[in-house]
Structure 1
Amino acid sequence: MSSLVVGPMLRYVDSTRASIWVETSEPCVVTVCGRWGTPTFAVHGHHYAIVDLEGFEGEYTVELNGEQVWPESDRPSRIRLLPPEGPERVMFGSCRTSVPHDAAHTATHGVDVLRAYARSGEPLPDLLLMLGDQVYADKPSPRMLEFIAGRRKPGEEPAKEIADFEEYAELYRTAWSDPDIRWLLSTVPTAMIFDDHDLRDDWNTSKDWRIKMARTSWWRRRVVAGLGAYWVYQHLGNLSPEERADDPLLAALRAGEGATALDEFAYQADAEPTSNRWSYARDLGHSRLIIIDTRCARQLTPRDRRMLDAGEWAWLEEQIEGASGRLIIGSSIPFLLPEGVHFVQNWNEALCDGKWGRLVARASEIFRQAFDLEHWGAFRRSFDDLSRLLIKIDKPVFILSGDVHYSYLAQAPGRIYQVVCSPIRNPLSMALRLANIFTQFGVATLIGGTLARLARIPRPPFRWKVTKGPMFQNALASLDFSDKVTVTWYGETLDPLETVHDL
Structure 2
Amino acid sequence: MNWIPLRERINTLPLVLAGPILRRTDNYSVTVWIALKESRTVTLVILDTNKNALITARQNTTQVGDNLHIVAITAQSNYSVLRDGENYLYNIAFNPGESLNTPGILNSEGSILEIAYPDVHSEYNLPSFALPPNDINDLRIVHGSCRKLHGESLDAMASLDKMIREALAISVEKRPHQLFLTGDQIYVDDVADALLFMLMDAAETLLGWSEPLPGVTNLDELKPGQRNNLATNVAGLTASLDKLNRITDIAKSHLFTFGEFMAMYLFAWSDVLWVNEEDFPQYQDIYSIEATSQDKQKESDFDKEVTYLKEFISTIKQVRRALANIPTYMIFDDHEITDDWNLNMAWCDRVLSKPLGRRIIQNGLLGYSICQAWGNTPLEFSNDKPGAALLSALQTWSKSKGNDPDSETEISKRLGLPTVTEIRKTNPRRLPYFDNSINWNYTVTGPGYEVVFLDTRTLRGFPGEDFDFPELLSDEALEKQLPEISDDNKVTIVISPSPVVGLPFLEGIQKSAKAVAEKLGTAAWGFDPEAWGLQASSFEKFIARLALRTSRQSSRIVMLSGDVHYSFSARLQYSANQPFEFPLPANPQLVIAQFTSSSLRNEKREPGGSYSLHLKGFVPFQLIDYHPKAEILGWSNPEAKKQEVGVVCTYADAFMQCLPLHIEKSPALINIVEERSWFRLPDITKKPEWWYRIDFLPALLENIHYSSNHNSHNTQSIVAPLPRQDRLKPLNQYLSMAKNHHEYKGLWGHGKEVVGVNNLAEITFEFDDTKQIAVQTLWWRLESHEKGKLLEPFPLTRYEVSLSFDDKDCPITDVLREVRMKGK
Shorter chain as denominator, the TM-score bin is 0.7 to 0.9
Task: Select 1:11's aligned residue among 11, 20, 23.
Answer: 23
Count the aligned residue pairs: 484
Task: Select 1:383's aligned residue among 508, 518, 539.
Answer: 539
Match of 2:309 in 1: none
Q: 1:83-482 to 2 correspondence within 5 Å?
A: 83=133, 88-99=139-150, 109-119=152-162, 121-123=165-167, 124-148=175-199, 150=201, 153=220, 154=223, 155=226, 157-158=230-231, 159-177=252-270, 178-214=316-352, 218-239=356-377, 241=379, 244-245=382-383, 247-251=385-389, 253=391, 258-259=396-397, 260=407, 263-265=411-413, 268-271=416-419, 273-275=432-434, 276=437, 277-302=439-464, 305-318=470-483, 324-342=489-507, 345=510, 361=518, 363=520, 366-367=523-524, 369-392=525-548, 393-413=553-573, 414-431=590-607, 432-433=609-610, 441=619, 458-459=668-669, 461-468=691-698, 469-482=753-766
Shift of 1:494: 2.8
Alignment TM-score, normalising by the size of structure 1 = 0.85
Shift of 1:390: 3.1
Separation (CA, whole Å) in 2 of partners of 1:213 and 1:455: 38
Q: Evaluate the alpha carbon distance shift between residue 284 and residue 122 of structure 1 in structure 2; reply closer, same or farther with a 3 A threshold.
A: same
SS in 2 for 1:109: coil
Alignment TM-score, normalising by the size of structure 2 = 0.54
Shift of 1:310: 3.0
Separation (CA, whole Å) in 2 of partners of 1:214 and 1:298: 15
Partner AA of 1:222 in structure 2: I
Query: Is the 1:227–1:266 contact (alpha carbons within 8 Å) kept by the matching residues of 2?
Result: no
1:94-145: per-residue Cα shift (whole Å, max 9, x none)?
Answer: 011224xxxxxxxx61121211331462333100000011000001234422
SS in 1 for 2:166: coil
Shift of 1:146: 1.6
- Report which of the two has the higher share of helix: 1
Note the aligned Cα RMSD (angstroms).
Answer: 3.5
Shift of 1:372: 1.3
Deviates more, 1:462-471 or 1:269-278: 269-278
Query: Is the 2:451–2:495 contact (alpha carbons within 8 Å) kept by the matching residues of 1?
Result: yes
More relative contact order in 1 or in 2 (CA 8 Å, sep 6+)? 1
Match of 1:102 in 2: none
Partner AA of 1:48 in structure 2: I
SS in 2 for 1:218: helix
Deviates more, 1:25-34 or 1:172-181: 25-34
Match of 2:719 in 1: none
Query: Is the 1:397–1:416 contact (alpha carbons within 8 Å) kept by the matching residues of 2?
Result: yes
Partner AA of 2:188 in structure 1: A
Shift of 1:348: 6.8
Query: Is the 1:288–1:325 contact (alpha carbons within 8 Å) kept by the matching residues of 2?
Result: no
1:349-373: per-residue Cα shift (whole Å, max 9, x none)?
Answer: 7x5xxxxxxx974648623x22111
- 1:49 aligns to 2:71 (yes or no): yes
Structure with the greater alpha carbon radius of gyration: 2
Q: Evaluate the alpha carbon distance shift between residue 220 and residue 326 of structure 1 in structure 2; reply closer, same or farther with a 3 A threshold.
A: same
Separation (CA, whole Å) in 2 of partners of 1:416 and 1:189: 25
Deviates more, 1:426-435 or 1:283-292: 426-435
Separation (CA, whole Å) in 2 of partners of 1:454 and 1:142: 55
For structure 2, the residue ranges without an aligned partner over 5 or more in a row are 1-10, 46-52, 117-126, 168-174, 205-218, 232-251, 271-315, 398-406, 420-430, 574-589, 632-660, 671-690, 699-752, 782-791, 803-824
For structure 1, the residue ranges without an aligned partner over 5 or more in a row are 100-107, 352-358
Shift of 1:216: 5.1
Shift of 1:252: 5.5
SS in 2 for 1:43: strand
Deviates more, 1:124-133 or 1:259-268: 259-268
- 1:491 aligns to 2:491 (yes or no): no
Task: Select 1:29's aligned residue among 31, 35, 41.
Answer: 41
SS in 2 for 1:250: helix
Query: Is the 2:62–2:395 contact (alpha carbons within 8 Å) kept by the matching residues of 1?
Result: no
SS in 2 for 1:327: strand
